[in-house]
Structure 1
Amino acid sequence: MSDALPDGLHEFLGQTDWADATVAPLEGDASFRRYFRLNLSGESAMLMHAPPPHEDPKPFLHVAHWLTDVGLRAPRIIAEDAEAGWVLTEDFGDERVREWIDAHPGEERAIYTAAIDTLAQLHTIPPGPFPPYDMAVYLREAMLLVEWYCPAVGLDVDLEGYRQAWEAALAPLLDRQQPGVTVLRDYHAENIMLPPDGGQGLIDFQDALVGHPAYDLVSLLQDARRDVSPELEAEMLAHYRAKAAPGEDFDADYARLGAQRNAKIVGIFTRLAKRDGKARYLAMIPRVWDAMERDLAHPALGPVADWFAANIPQELRDASGGKMP
């Protein structure tokens, strides 16, 4: 990561009360976005640079304002220049759920319970003004596995059969996600902050859609970046059921969206390594494969499980959880 400050940074800050702040670059994520911490007179703020044409901060701003308006803890927007890619927000600090639990394992259950409570609250609110998580999106995401992972491990697979299997598996849940809930889409231990003033803060929600309530539960409890035990997963799902009463088909839909999300992530992580040179994501793929195998065991995934059995040799899915691309 370059420590050089982007052009236009000081011009943007000059239009705010933070013009004289010190600016410290922070580690980025899997995108072209960059983050900076500002310090001024003992106060801090976060500056995001999401420059066009690779990035567009408008979706982040759209979702952040909506979340704040409905009472959820998104970072407060201090200043913005969407056309130039600048967003200045409140600072949630450095404590993410992942590192906090690593350092305080005895608090894992309480932190996950609070994260489930946030989703239960979100799901009581009419969905936001966001695009639908429809079959076209589900299929486009699931296809990432055959577009990136399969070629990377030298497999020539039945692409049309793969698409048809997913259509058959996912079709039953489409009616059950009407009118839908707001789906944050990347709700996991590295995107939940523990601000200094308490509670939990949301970040990385700019891709929000309107879809099924199980999706963010999968994102949280089948986390690609840290191990969540099957026991804790089951306990948190029971807690959600008690809070939200989602219906008798919820477990099947959770498995459907678990398999779909995990197939997508295997494809994305392979793409990050092969196209973008971010090889560190390969080490996470076995964990994702393990979760996907559990999802595929559910009868609701019969067509998809049959496709995997016919197209991806078991030796690539066993042991390490999937051959590294």
Structure 2
Amino acid sequence: MSELPEGLNEFLRVAGWHDAEIDPIPGDASFRRYFRITGAERGAMLMHAPPPEEDPRPFLDVARWLSDHGQRAPEIFAEDADAGWVLTEDFGDARMRDWLDDNPQAEERCYAEAIDALVRLHREPAGPFSPYDMDTYLREARLLTEWYCPAMGVDADVEAYDAAWREALAPLMGRQQPGVTVLRDYHAENIMLLAPAADGQGEQGLIDFQDARVGHRAYDLVSLLQDARRDVSPDLERAMIARYLEGIGEQAHFDADYARLGAQRNAKIVGIFTRLAKRDHKQRYLAMIPRVWEAMERDLAHDALAPVRAWFDANIPQVLRDDFGGEIQ
């Protein structure tokens, strides 16, 4: 067992779990750590989000809002936000991504359930979260020029990059008013299947939603259907978009906005995965970049992305986009 963080045992004692077993579990791409807590006939999940690198308050706020608005977020058992401790309901081990590896026949049903959850969420008024404004979109998209381009030896025109994104994203800004709650990382690794049936039908729990904002209804659809961590076929992507629009109602310019946000999100992810490899020495994320590039190329092919596509063509050689071999400088 790796060394336990200072204060863990005291927090569990105060929370009434002093006699529980503590098992560390793999974390994510952040400073957060997770532990499975097992007591007599009960279990829980312990998150340590240590300040100053992390702050559990957004997680707590969003979890409570989601639970109050028909979504399946973990129940909060105990917390010490100042010290970074949160004890929650344990959703188990059945991540949608991993479960589908063993049950591929249930893929369409699982994704349909995830789409239906988004429809329910988007029928609610948006939560009290920060807006997904133009500055945020640009700051995220710049992760590609800040991390990926230097790592690949690309001398990118950053000023033109910003201008291209401003032009491409401007038409959707008005269409994301008043906006919906955007979970931002709504994908198969952050959806837990709670006692899934053989056909994939069943309750789905949400995790890793602490960065929620108010924005465009297509964003989480892109997160789910252009997943950096697992392949989603174009046929399934189209079928699930159609299912979403059937549930929420037809939306003007939806295909164009979906492509805009797909390209923006995928550019961000390429930058993040490069940063994880360069700064944090987490090389495993490099293997996912080709999947992200493939999705981004499909997005860039849409006429709505013409200015951004022109920038990519002028600044990043096609050979780097077609044949990223996991090598960075």
TM-score scaled by length of structure 2: 0.96
The equivalent of 2:228 in structure 1 is 224
SS in 1 for 2:100: helix
The equivalent of 1:79 in structure 2 is 78
The equivalent of 2:316 in structure 1 is 312
**Displacement, 1:150?**
0.5
**Alignment-mate amino acid for residue 117 of structure 1:** D
Deviations 1:105-156 (A, max 9, x none): 0000000000000101100000000000000000000000011000001010
Deviations 1:245-273 (A, max 9, x none): 14120000000000000000000000000
**Displacement, 1:18?**
1.4
CA distance in 2, matches of 1:91, 1:196: 12
SS in 2 for 1:35: strand
Determine if the alignment matches structure 1 residue 60 to structure 2 residue 47.
no
With 128-137 and 242-251 compared, the bigger mean Cα shift is at 242-251
The equivalent of 1:130 in structure 2 is 129
**Alignment-mate amino acid for residue 316 of structure 2:** I
The equivalent of 2:111 in structure 1 is 112
**Displacement, 1:324?**
3.8
SS in 2 for 1:167: helix
Change (3 A) 1:15 1:196: farther
Does the Cα contact within 8 Å between 2:145 and 2:271 map onto a contact in 1? yes
Deviations 1:168-204 (A, max 9, x none): 0000000000000000000000000012384000000
CA distance in 1, matches of 2:272, 2:250: 30
Q: Map 1:5-24 to 2 at 5 A.
A: 5-24=4-23
Determine if the alignment matches structure 1 residue 203 to structure 2 residue 202.
no
The equivalent of 2:218 in structure 1 is 214
Which of 230, 252, 260 lines up with 2:256 in the alignment? 252
**Displacement, 1:322?**
7.0
Does the Cα contact within 8 Å between 1:287 and 1:321 map onto a contact in 2? no
Does the Cα contact within 8 Å between 2:21 and 2:38 map onto a contact in 1? yes
The equivalent of 1:281 in structure 2 is 285
Q: What is the percent sequence identity of the aligned residues?
A: 69
With 12-21 and 277-286 compared, the bigger mean Cα shift is at 12-21
**Displacement, 1:42?**
2.4
The equivalent of 1:175 in structure 2 is 174
**Displacement, 1:157?**
1.2
Change (3 A) 1:140 1:278: same
CA distance in 2, matches of 1:21, 1:323: 42
Does the Cα contact within 8 Å between 1:67 and 1:74 map onto a contact in 2? yes
CA distance in 1, matches of 2:32, 2:209: 14
Deviations 1:273-295 (A, max 9, x none): 00000000000000000000000
SS in 2 for 1:84: coil
**Displacement, 1:16?**
1.6
SS in 2 for 1:194: strand
CA distance in 1, matches of 2:246, 2:158: 40
Does the Cα contact within 8 Å between 2:130 and 2:214 map onto a contact in 1? yes
Does the Cα contact within 8 Å between 1:183 and 1:216 map onto a contact in 2? yes
Does the Cα contact within 8 Å between 2:219 and 2:261 map onto a contact in 1? yes
Q: Map 1:229-248 to 2 at 5 A.
A: 229-248=233-252
CA distance in 2, matches of 1:88, 1:283: 33
CA distance in 1, matches of 2:133, 2:34: 32
Q: Map 1:264-275 to 2 at 5 A.
A: 264-275=268-279
CA distance in 1, matches of 2:221, 2:275: 24
**Alignment-mate amino acid for residue 66 of structure 1:** W
**Displacement, 1:22?**
0.7
CA distance in 1, matches of 2:327, 2:156: 17
**Displacement, 1:43?**
1.6
Unaligned stretches of 5+ residues in structure 1: none
**Alignment-mate amino acid for residue 268 of structure 2:** K
Unaligned stretches of 5+ residues in structure 2: 197-201
**Displacement, 1:17?**
2.5
**Alignment-mate amino acid for residue 73 of structure 2:** A
**Alignment-mate amino acid for residue 193 of structure 1:** M
The equivalent of 1:160 in structure 2 is 159
The equivalent of 2:199 in structure 1 is none
Deviating above 4 A after TM superposition, structure 1's stretches of 4 or more consecutive aligned residues are: none
Does the Cα contact within 8 Å between 1:58 and 1:82 map onto a contact in 2? yes
CA distance in 2, matches of 1:199, 1:265: 28
Deviations 1:4-59 (A, max 9, x none): 11111111111123121111111111011000011111221000000101110000
CA distance in 1, matches of 2:212, 2:17: 30
The equivalent of 1:292 in structure 2 is 296
Task: Tell me the matched-pair count.
Answer: 323
Does the Cα contact within 8 Å between 1:316 and 1:323 map onto a contact in 2? no
CA distance in 2, matches of 1:41, 1:180: 44
